[in-house]
Amino acid sequence: MREAREPRNPPARRYNCAGLTLKFNFVFFSVPGLAAAIALGISDVLAKIIIGAHCDVLTMLSFRSVVGFAFMTLWLRLGPAPPTDARIRWVSLGTGVMFAGLTFCLFKAIEANDVATAVLTYFAYPLLTGLAASAAGLERLSWRGATCALVAFFGLAVMIGAHPAGLALAGIAYALGAACCRTGVLIVSRAFLVSADARLTTWYSVIAQLAIFVAVSAATRTWHPPQTDGGWAALVAMSLATTAAILFVFVSTIRIGPFRTALIMNLEPLTAMVLSALTLGELITPLQAAGSGIMLAALVAFQIWK
């Protein structure tokens, strides 16, 4: 009696191949989100270098908004024309006003304190967004989500309280202000812009930022560009990095969805922390590192369980 031959494609082998394919696809489709988080982390560090070259925040953001407007206009020209209406236009312009406040407050926080502290404090915005959405009735907050939020705020408090040289309270206030602005942007976008084309809403948002920063710069006669070649190089690189991050976030949201994109964006503060230590010498103590780790882990858990 002949022995039964082993099938050419055993089930276990097929399952292993399918698992490897899924893992490869997830990694492949996550690349834009990873690029966006890394680009924003790099731009946070570059902002500190630009400020060190005696360039003020308002000048930096005016230059950046011009680059962003040129990029988004070109992107819209090359792609299919998105549908629009008056409601989308005005809501998007309103979010642009909040985004202008966000970027101004974040870079003022970076100017006042070290990059890691500024960016990690700003990253309280996922917690604030979840709590605000729950209060507004947009989504429910489970007890596990509430617990994760408390743990994340505890980690943030440890990180801030353990700073060896002390911190400028104005910098902490600016970072929390940026977090509140980001919360407003996310809540309004979720309530009114879910079905709108992200390219168009971003373009309107950039127009609002450009108008605000250029108008305020002109009214106050503020134009203090970097005083060194390195500062100019950092300003151009930061403007390109943040502009590229807009594209990467858009592509990532299409490929893997907004939820997974938001999870990946938690790499921004980690990137900023590592790069600021390597390039600026802004080292953190073990206790600060522990607080930062607690906060980032609780943020990920909060976004999964809220």
| Predicted TM-score of the model (pTM) | 0.84
Rounded alpha-carbon distances, angstroms, from residue 214 to 25, 89, 257: 43, 20, 34
User: Using CA atoms, how far apart are residues 262 and 30, in angstroms rounded to an integer?
Assistant: 11
Residue with tokens 């990029």: 71
pLDDT at 29: 63
Which tokens belong to 303?
Answer: 């976004």
Which tokens belong to 60?
Answer: 């930096």
User: Using CA atoms, how far apart are residues 273 and 18, in angstroms rounded to an integer?
Assistant: 37
- Going 248 to 249 to 250 to 254, the CA torsion angle's sign is positive
- Please give the single-letter amino acid code of residue 71: F
Q: Which residues of the chain have pLDDT under 50?
A: 1-2, 6, 15, 18-20, 22-24, 26
pLDDT at 1: 45
- Please give the single-letter amino acid code of residue 270: L
Of the candidates 42, 88, 101, 106, the one whose C-alpha atom is nearest the C-alpha of residue 202 is: 88
> 245, 40 in Cβ contact below 8 A?
yes
Of the candidates 208, 222, 245, 220, the one whose C-alpha atom is nearest the C-alpha of residue 98 is: 208
Q: Max CA-CA distance within the chain? A: 96
pLDDT at 79: 79
Listed by start position, the domains of the chain span 33-305
- Please give the single-letter amino acid code of residue 167: L
